[in-house]
Amino acid sequence: MVTSLTVQDGGASGAVLNLVSLAVVGVLAERAWGARRFALIGLVAGVGAQFWGAVVQPVGAGNSVVVFGLAAASAVVAVVRGPVLARVAGALALVGGLALLVLGDLHGGAALLGALVGVALLVRDRRAAGRAGLGSRA
């Protein structure tokens, strides 16, 4: 399940697109979540989506599921903490991920997992802030 994240199908163009996407989304996601959480979200979305992919798309490989998971987790941050335009863009991204899931696309599973991990981390942050007497950060 992990090794399919380290190779790319789709030839050289697929590899370049996935790696450039990972670089762009990865920088934004790491800024939003920090290095440890970035790694956690990427791992959960990447490996978890491989299980979903075994059902809906058993042939294929690449890190695009990691990109979709990181993008969805970042969209959650935008919806909860961003200015109006970021909230709208984040919500549209999450709706797009849901559409992919409903259509049985591998990337929809990754988006769902990334969003769920993002929500769980934000809830954890809010609870920790409440216990520390810091109130809501949203």
* pLDDT tens by residue, 52-93: 988 888 787 788 999 999 999 999 999 999 999 999 999 999
Q: What is the pTM of this model?
A: 0.88
**Number of structural domains the chain divides into:** 1
CB 45 within 8 A of CB 65: yes
Burial of 37 (0-12, 13-18, 19+ CB in 10 A): middle
Residue-range definition of the domain harbouring residue 51:
3-131
Q: Is residue 135's pLDDT more than 60? A: no
Tokens 């942050």 correspond to 125
The reply to whether 73 falls in a domain is: yes
* pLDDT tens by residue, 8-62: 777 788 888 888 999 999 999 999 999 999 999 999 999 999 999 888 887 877 8
The reply to whether 138 falls in a domain is: no
One-letter amino acid of 72:
A
The reply to whether 136 falls in a domain is: no
